[in-house]
Every structure is written in C-alpha cells, then in structure tokens.
Structure 1
Amino acid sequence: MKPVADSGQLALLSNRKDTMAQMFLDRVAATPEREAFRFPRADQWKSVTWRETEALTRRRAAGLIALGVEPEQRVAVASSTRIEWIECYLAAVLAAAATTTIYPSTISSDVAFIVADADVQVVFAEDAGQVDKLREHRNETPSLRKVVLLDGTPLESDGDWVIGLGELDALGDAYLAEHPSIVDDRIAGITPDDLCTLIYTSGTTGRPKGVRLPHSVWTYEGAAVEGMQVLSPDDLQFLWLPLSHVFGQVLLAVQFQLGFATAVDGRIDKIVDNAAVVQPTFMAAAPRIFEKAHGRIVTMIQSEGGAKAKLFDWAFGVGAKVSALRQAGKEPGGLLGAQYAAADRLVLSKIRARFGGRIRFFVSGSAALDKSLAEWFHAAGLLILEGYGLSETSAGSTLNRPTQYRLGSVGPAFPGTQFKIAEDGEILIKGDGVMSGYHNQPEQTAEVLGADGWFHTGDIGHFEDEYLFITDRKKDLFKTSGGKYVAPQVIEGRFKTICPYASQFIVHGNLRNFVSALVTLDPDSIEGWAAANGLAGKPYAEIVTSDAAHAMVQGYVDELNAGLNRWETIKKFTILDRDLTVESGEMTPSLKLKRKHVETQYADVLDKMYE
C-alpha cells in the first residue's frame, strides 16, 4: 500500500471546506473584488469579479428554487464550455441541487436516457439544437419540468416548457423579494455527503453510467491541490476542457479553493489563438491537444526546410540536453549554458510565445501522454505535469509537481489518497476522492467498489519509488495468437509523437498472428505535406490513400518498429479515408478513442489485413 505524506495530510486538515457551496462563498468573502472569470464577447475579453459572480448565481439559484427544484434533485447542463455553464452550475450548487452533465455532442437517445435515469428536473440547454433533442424524447423524460435556453428565443409552440435565461433570473428576483433568506437556508442545509454532481461517463462501451460525486470529493480535491502548493492565487488558468467531463470540473473546485482567475472558452479551434491573447500561467489539456500542437510546429518547420530547419533541430538538440539536466535537478552552465541561451532566444522562446509566453506548466490528463512528447515540450521549456484519475475518483488521484516530477509517470499520489497494486497489476485507489457509487446501479458499483473502500480502476500500472506509471487499460491489453501480451496505448502514443502527420493510430491484434494498425492523418497537418508532394488541392481522401502517403507512413512505422519487441511490431497498416471524430461516435468528447466501436466499425478493413 502506498503511504501518504504527513505534510500533505496537515495541509488537508487545516484548509478543507465542508461543501462546494461553502467553498465558493468563502472564496467570495476572501477576495470579493478580484477577477474570477474572463470570457469572450465579440472580439473582446470581459471580466467578472467573485462578488459579481455570486450576485448573479444567487438570483439564478432562487430561480431554480422557484421552479420547484428540491435539494439533491438534478439540474442538467447541456452546453459547451462557456461562462454560462459555470454560472448555471453554481446556481445549482447554491440551490443545494445536484448537477448532471450532458455533452452537447451527445445523441438524442442518450440525452433522453441520462435525463430519465437521473430524474432531471431542469435542463439548461445551450441552443435550439439541444432543445430539439429534449423535445424529440419528451414523453420518455417525465421528470423534466422546464428547459432553460441559453442562446436564442423559445418557440411559441413549446409554451412555458422552454424559457429564456433572462426569464429564469427574473423568477429568481421575484422569489428572493418574497423569500430573502431562501438561498442561504438551502446552503445551510447541505452536508458533505449530499450529492453535488452526477457525471455520466462518456461511454467508450455501452450506455453511460452515472457517477455519484458528493460535495466531499470536490472539497477534498481543492484542499489536496492547495496542500501540494502547485498553484497560487496569482495564477491565470485558460479553461477550454469540456465541463461535462470530470477533468474540467475538478479545475473549478481547485479554483474556488485557491482563488486564481480563469479565462473560459471551449472552442477547440481557438485554443492556441486564445492562449496567445490570454497569456495564462497554466492550462490543462488532453494529450491530443499536445500531439496536434507538436505536429503543427514540426510540419511547419519541415515544410520551410533549409537553414531554418537546421537551426530548429540544433536548438531542440540543445534543449534536450538541458531538459535531461533539469530532470536531474541541475541547471546548465559553461558552454551548454551559452548554447542554451542562444537556442532559447532564437527558437525555443518563440515556441513558448505561441502559448502566451507565461506558461509555468501544462497539466495533462484524460488519456496517456507519450513520454517522448513530454520530453519534446520540456526541451522547449514547457513542462507538462501528467496526472491520473477517473470520473469515479473525481479526476485527481496523482499528479507530478513543478519541483517533483518524472516524465513518463503520472506522478505521486494526492495527499490523503492511498494506492495498491493487485496481483494482476490492476491499480486500486482508496480515499476521499472516490465516488459513492454508480447511480441506480448497485451491482455495477459492487463490481468496482469493495466494502473496504478500494476502487478497482481497470488500469494496469506500477510504482517506481513514489511515482505511478500506467501501462494500459486492463480491457485494452491483448494477447496475440503466439501468446504474447501487447499494450496498445503505449505503441499508439509513441507513433503519434514520431509521425507529425498522425491523428489516430489504432493498434490491433487480439488472438491474431501479428499486430496491425488503422491510421488516420491530421487534416490540418497533411495539407502542407500534400503541397510538397504534388497533391496540392486534392480531396483529403485522395491524399491520404495515395501511394505517396502510404510510403510516408511506412517510413514512420519502420521507425516505430525499430524500438518495439518483435511481437509488438506493426506488420501491416491501413490508412482510413477520413479522420475519427467525436461527432461520428468514434471518439469521446474528452478525445479518448472508443476502441471497441472503431474495431467493430472497421472489422472488414482489419480482417482484410489478415487474409
């Protein structure tokens, strides 16, 4: 069993709040006039203080109460990441309700399932498209009494079933006029064990499961991160992650505990542009974002070639040497120090400037980050702190620290969280961040959460010193017909770092006589390659299925294979004529591969490679 650091425990005991509502109100009281959130409006960024945020969310909370929402009843938010998402979430918290999250990309039948399973009373719907999904299955969701539309005007045909956000706020004002203490009364009645959040897993297989997260898990997460002294009130976060995902929500809990400001904009295509403008000091992301940024930079330099490419390679070679020193706790001096100063001025600082120039570190989670990709960013002076957790453990269970990290690992345990490794290598977690169970699914809860409090993660890993290393998902490990085990995620991550044009690389071979792969190429990165290879202006499908593209990928596969065991090497691969997407159901909204779905969808393509 993994011991817990005493210093972390002391910090926890002295700083932990009772509930999320109290955490938020204490933050407002401590720093009422400091910036809380920053968000885009037209071409400008607008800011609001903690006091202003409280005033708005109190009105909205009263509006929910006026609609009849009772403590712990569910209020859903079906929206992309934006300031209104946070405001509606806080309104539910202050009304003592529990928030249920719905990804805006969720298909209508799954939306209906979530609303019905959670007994959702009110849904905040981002736009008419989200309302359409609810309307389509209205007879299947009897608990749903009201839909609040964030953007647009409700249809007259919906009657009072759909109202605008302004109408809800007006209801709240009227209710507060008659019941001025109602919100405070609700807050006073919340206990740490009350349900705060019902997060439905994005479902890499089957129907999503509702993970029950009480107030206590979020207050634990906030106190644990504060105890690790990773962040300060003076930091500025750029938040784009889906707030329907546990990774996004834990960052809110940490913000309420520490009081730093957050710039909010969930548009993925605007991440790099926004970072340059906002100039955050830290940002969290899924590995796919780092893979795309790396691919875009590398392919841009390769297309320019000549002296610029040679300078780039030299600078990153120097940066790699400095990275190795810093990982050992040392700093460069002498000739290397002078070389690094020049490399940084000419190349590396310009890479950092793409992200605003003030990044102290990134945080990576949600899926495995390839070590070589982390090393590339570290060579540029950008530290990626990889962490680990699941929806069932409220996102944060381990994290590398800025002064205590080992690239390739997911870091040491959070203070107060215990680990042990089962005989088959499965990671087990116990602590205050673990869920209370799956909603309406006692049998499935019992399968993963023992009476002794140990949660079975389904991940395979091991500790080296105090650092946790993840091998793969237990269910994703496969055995070839020759009896050799293969961990696909490790190989997939390595290839996407080696090949700057890669989007997805799906390793396959369960009970097969060799390992194969499905490949997709990044639509943005491949354009420059196409122009340099006589395919400019051709349709994407024609470019990626060309003999030239196959030869290009084969070169990178050969490079990959050189570092693999014989039984792991990729003998054959097929490049698909389109990329995998969230919209087509092949990726989760948190950008994780739905492996079984893809393997089923492309079964004929896979079978053909084994004919």
Structure 2
Amino acid sequence: MTATASTVPSVARLFHDRVFASADREAFRVPEADGTWRSITWGATGERVGELAAGLVALDIEAGDRVAVMSSTRYEWITCDLAIMCAGAATTTVYPSTAAPDVAYILADSGSRVVFAEDAEQVAKLREHRKELPDVGIVVLIDGTPDGTDDWVITLDDLAARGRALTETSPDAVANRIDAIGPDDLATLIYTSGTTGRPKGVRLPQKAWTYQGEALTKLDLVRADDLQYLWLPLAHSFGKVLLSAQLAIGFASAVDGRVDKIVDNMGVVRPTMMAAAPRIFEKAHARIVTTIAAEGGPKAKLFGWAVSVGRKVSDLTLAGRSVPPLLALQHRVADKLVLSKIRDRFGGRIRFFVSGSAALAPDLAHWFHAAGVIILEGYGMTENAAGGSVNELSRYRIGTVGRPLPGTEIKIGDDGEVLLRSPSVMTGYHNLPEQTADALDDEGFLHTGDIGELDADGYLRITDRKKDLFKTSGGKYVAPQPIEGQMLAVCPYVSQVVVHGEGRNYCTALLTLDADALEGWAANNDLSGRDHATLVKSPEVRAMVQDHVDTLNGRLNRWETIKKFAILDRELSLEEGELTPSMKIRRKDVEKRHRAALDALYGD
C-alpha cells in the first residue's frame, strides 16, 4: 500500500478544527480531590490552549523552537503540549521519573527554551543543573507556587495572563502561527528511553501525528461516542498517538496518570476503551486468578468451570464456527455467574483494550477473550510515532499485531527484520546523523530492530528484538521474549522474567514475584506474616514456582527450556537502572547487575 500523508497540515490545525466542530461536546474528564470527575468541553480546552499558546508567543518563542514538558499524565500535560504546537513550536517530552543529570542532557541537547514543570520536585532538578541549561529562559510551574528565589519560575496562570494581554493587542498572533505550520515542520522531540546507552532524540514531524489520526479514523475501531481511559505516559509515543486519534475522531478521554488508581477509576468512569502495556493485563489477570485461588472451595471450582466454558466458546468464535446449543446455554450461565463479574472490574462497558509497547502473551489474550474482553494488539515504536499496525474489531488474530495501518508499508528483510515505511516515520535522530543513517535506508524504510513475519493475509507477528536473540554454546538460537511472555501467562505470581543463555550450555532465568499476589498465596499456604524477601527464599515458594517452570518447559523446545532459575527478593526497578521509563527491561543492565546470581546457576 502506498504511503499517503494526512490532508491536515499540522496538529495545531487538527486541534483547531476539532474545537470548531465539537465546541460544546465533552473532550476530557479530570479527577477532583473529592473523588468526583469534572467534565471539560472542547470549547473550554480551546480557550485555555489559546491563552497558553499566546503566552509562549509573548515569551518570544519562535516557530520551530523547542519547549519541554516534564510532567505525569494529566489534563495540563495535554493543554501545554497543544499550546506549544499552536505557537508553532515543538514539544520536547521528558518523563517525570527521569533523573536530574538525564533531564539536563535532554534539555541541553534539544535546545529547549521553556520548560513546563509539574511541581517543585521537577523544578529542583532544573535548578540543580541550571548552569548547564543556558537556553532555558523560563520555567512554567503547573502545580504549586514558585519559591520566590527569582523570576525564572512562573505559574501556568501567569503564562495564561501574559497570553491574554498579548491577545488584546495582537488578536491574530496564535492564528497566524497555526497558519504558518507545515506538515514537515518539527512537532515533537521524544527521547527514547533506550535499553542501552544514552537516550536519542527522535524528530517527529507534524505529518507523523496527523497521519496517525487520519489512518485510525479509517479503521473499524474507535467511535466518536467512545470514552477513553487515558493513563499512559504522554512522554511516550504510545500515549501521544492516542491524543492524535482523539483530535481526529472527537471522542472524550478521562485522564489520570496514576497507575495505582486505574482499576478504581475504571469502575467510576466506566470507559469503553483503554490502551495499556501488557504489564497492566498481566497484573489484572494475576490479581483475579490468585484471589479466586486463595478462596478455594466451590467458588474456585465454579470459576475454573466458567473460564473453561468461556474458552471453548472463544476458540469456536475465533475459528469462525458456530457454538452448539448446549455449550451456548452453559456459556450464558457461566457469563452470568462469573465472566460478567470479570468485565465489571473494568467498569462493565469496555468494547476493547489495545495492548502495545511490548509483546502480550497469547495465553493471556485468550484468557481475557474467554471472559468476553477483547485485547487488540498493535505494533509501533517511537521512531514511527507508535502506530504501524493494529488488529481491528472486525478482523483480529490473537498472537499477531494486526495488519499495517492504511498508508503504511511493512516488509520483512532478508534477516527477518521488520522494515516499515510510513508518513509517520521520523525524519531522524536529533544531532545524530550516523545513527539516523543506520535506522533509515535509501528507500525510506525504518529498520525497526524487531524480528517478525507476515502471514498470507498480511498480519504481522513479532517474534523478538533482533538484539535480544542469543545463541547457546550448542549453537541454538533462542528468542527470550516469547518464553518470558509464556512464563508470565503460566504463573500469575511471577511479575518479571529475564531469560539468559548467551554462550551458555543451557538457559536460565531471573524471576521476580508480585508482592500482593504472593501475600495472598502465602495466606492460603500457612505462611502468613513473613515479609516478601523471606517468602521468596522459602522452599515452599520455590517449589510452587518450580511447578510453573515445569509447565512452561513442557511447551518449549529442548534447547529453550529453563534448567535453573533464581528468584530475586524485589522487583526490577527504574531507580536501580533495570527498567526504562516506559517500563521495558534493560536486559544487559539486569544481567550485569545480577551477574553473581546468574553465574551461580551455572556453577561459576
């Protein structure tokens, strides 16, 4: 399929058109301190964005200048991002969890002139490295008040007031900026968290986002009357592309980036759709399964029967076959007594979930489908604005990441690498011409670094990261990610897995266990009262995990089986440098940090 760009020149124009078309309709919902949710219209959002955009113009921000946002996911992140682009500038995204030295590097490398900082903690990072940030003229504080040290920090309301003052004398200042933005102008500079090395700034033009929004309108997926629950980090391309879809289609989003509030909030908001990384679905599955297992007795047996019936119906449905009358009757009973209760945990109105940013274990997708919950996997990366392929409601295949978006081309290289060409592909890495040349070939294809295959109907299946494949001393290649995904599906108590075996004569694994799930298991096995570190070292826990590893090994080729494993006494963390800000495992860093534990598994 030939790649075609959007007919809309910029994100700012897309937003302006949406406000004009849907001024009185709900755009966003935001949580209040008392637990209620406040609705905000497109018109009110447009007014706020206009004030902030004019404020940036008043600060002498020019077209193409970079303005950074370092904040968690919240409504203000969205208005600041849109204001930056309506001023003709480009957004530099910074995770709020980023350490101060890395913040300084990103802001200096990007040449960001203004920074929107969420709170005093983020401002402190900037002050710590202020001498390294000569380009940053103003910091705009989203929450709280400046400490009065100097006039370097102003509030969001201060910026809006400057915007209103400018508009009185130059009412067309923002409109003129919007009119001047072209599809090839820089929209966003996203620094990849990277599993190795320093972050690279990915330069995404306006057409990357407008194309994504337009392509998603052509799919049998999102509707204008949908309500999205948006929690994903907006510093990540997966979160950002959802905003493009919202601007193009006009649905509403309930916005709250607090991960620990997702389940509670979904029960209140009752969304119809949500996108998430696999870890969210893994944790939801583990919580449900382990809770029922801890209760035991007739309730556990009923649950197992209901899921089994749901799976039989699911398998027939996915195969395009009819459901026999007796099974259909059993399914109605199973759904009323058990399966509907699973859906109720997510608010009861979910039409579908979208999973991305990492591989979702097919077993988990099948389990949710048996409960009547559809998880559509998609594929993309920061370098192509997150959207390359996605499954659709009218045609989806579990275990694949769907078909290419309209206007995107995907092919498989001679070495199995996935190559992608699209209007949403980056123009390059910021200040890194050699790395850009390595990633983009002369035909405009992005070399993704992922290994995959296309089936006869054009569905893409990702098998692993090219750099993660390893060869055992016996000469056998092993793809660790599918094995890790299967382990997470097999054992609801395991939270993270790193399969190891490069140059070794067999495979091993480092495992971490979910503290909440394990606590429930312990209570049901006469081990209550022990702390997590003590529990994971107990012979009872090790035997339980070994049973699940044995189940996993029964599904694997002989050279892939996990011969030995070590259970760590804590989960891998961002603070220890073991995870990226988008929660991907830094495989090499984990192996280096836990080298002694790995060596012990080989008798070294």
Q: What amino acid is the match of 1:51? A: G
Which residue, out of 416, 421, 445, partners 2:407? 416
Gaps of 5+ in 1: none
Residue 331 of structure 1 deviates from its aligned partner by 4.7
Gaps of 5+ in 2: none
Query: In the alignment, is the contact (CA less than 8 A) between 2:220 and 2:394 conserved in 1?
Result: no
Residue 16 of structure 1 deviates from its aligned partner by 3.5
Q: Distance in 1 between matches of 2:482 and 2:179?
A: 48
Query: In the alignment, is the contact (CA less than 8 A) between 1:16 and 1:222 conserved in 2?
Result: no
Q: Distance in 2 between matches of 1:122 and 1:442?
A: 26
Q: Which residue of 2 aligns with 1:35?
A: 26
Q: Distance in 1 between matches of 2:14 and 2:501?
A: 49
Mapping of residues 533-544 of structure 1, within 5 Å: 533-544=525-536
Residue 230 of structure 1 deviates from its aligned partner by 1.2
Q: Distance in 1 between matches of 2:418 and 2:305?
A: 41
Query: In the alignment, is the contact (CA less than 8 A) between 1:410 and 1:468 conserved in 2?
Result: yes
Q: Which residue of 1 aligns with 2:113?
A: 121
Q: Which residue of 2 aligns with 1:457?
A: 448
Structure 1 position 470 matched with structure 2 position 462: yes
Residue 146 of structure 1 deviates from its aligned partner by 0.7
Which residue, out of 489, 497, 502, partners 2:494? 502
Q: What amino acid is the match of 2:507? A: V
Q: Distance in 2 between matches of 1:315 and 1:163?
A: 57
Q: What amino acid is the match of 1:190? A: I
Residue 545 of structure 1 deviates from its aligned partner by 1.5
**Cα deviation code 1:309-362 (max 9, x no counterpart):** 111111111110111122123452411111111110000000000001111110
**Cα deviation code 1:210-260 (max 9, x no counterpart):** 000000011110111101131110111000000000000000000000000
Q: What amino acid is the match of 2:380? A: G
Q: Distance in 2 between matches of 1:40 and 1:584?
A: 31
Structure 1 position 356 matched with structure 2 position 347: yes
Residue 524 of structure 1 deviates from its aligned partner by 1.3
Q: Distance in 2 between matches of 1:132 and 1:278?
A: 34
Q: What amino acid is the match of 2:409? A: Q
Q: Which residue of 1 aligns with 2:193?
A: 202
Q: Which residue of 2 aligns with 1:552?
A: 544
Q: Distance in 2 between matches of 1:331 and 1:181?
A: 61
Q: Which residue of 1 aligns with 2:384?
A: 393
Moved more, 440-449 or 530-539: 530-539
Q: Distance in 2 between matches of 1:592 and 1:378?
A: 25
Q: Distance in 2 between matches of 1:16 and 1:297?
A: 45
Q: Which residue of 2 aligns with 1:322?
A: 313
Query: In the alignment, is the contact (CA less than 8 A) between 1:81 and 1:264 conserved in 2?
Result: yes
Q: Which residue of 2 aligns with 1:187?
A: 178
Q: Which residue of 1 aligns with 2:97?
A: 105
Q: What amino acid is the match of 2:585? A: L
Query: In the alignment, is the contact (CA less than 8 A) between 1:108 and 1:133 conserved in 2?
Result: yes
Q: Which residue of 2 aligns with 1:222?
A: 213
Q: Which residue of 2 aligns with 1:407?
A: 398
Q: Which residue of 2 aligns with 1:610?
A: 602
Residue 539 of structure 1 deviates from its aligned partner by 1.5
Query: In the alignment, is the contact (CA less than 8 A) between 1:236 and 1:261 conserved in 2?
Result: yes
Structure 1 position 425 matched with structure 2 position 390: no
Q: What amino acid is the match of 2:375? A: I
Which residue, out of 470, 478, 487, partners 1:486? 478
Q: Which residue of 1 aligns with 2:68?
A: 76
Percent of aligned positions that are identical:
59
Q: Which residue of 2 aligns with 1:147?
A: 139
Q: Which residue of 2 aligns with 1:261?
A: 252
Q: Which residue of 2 aligns with 1:368?
A: 359
**Cα deviation code 1:144-200 (max 9, x no counterpart):** 11111111111122x110111111111111111121110001101100000000000
Query: In the alignment, is the contact (CA less than 8 A) between 2:496 and 2:513 conserved in 1?
Result: yes
Residue 584 of structure 1 deviates from its aligned partner by 2.7
Q: Distance in 2 between matches of 1:253 and 1:444?
A: 27
Mapping of residues 441-452 of structure 1, within 5 Å: 441-452=432-443
Q: Distance in 2 between matches of 1:585 and 1:374?
A: 30
Q: What amino acid is the match of 1:547? A: P
1:154 alignment partner, SS class? coil
Moved more, 238-247 or 526-535: 526-535
Q: Any runs of at least 4 consecutive aligned residues in structure 1 with deviations exceeding 6 A, and if so which?
A: none
Q: Distance in 1 between matches of 2:322 and 2:364?
A: 21
**Cα deviation code 1:542-586 (max 9, x no counterpart):** 111211111111110000001111100001100001111223321
1:458 alignment partner, SS class? strand
Q: Distance in 1 between matches of 2:206 and 2:299?
A: 53
Mapping of residues 277-292 of structure 1, within 5 Å: 277-292=268-283
Q: Which residue of 2 aligns with 1:25?
A: 16
Q: Which residue of 1 aligns with 2:580?
A: 588
Structure 1 position 163 matched with structure 2 position 176: no
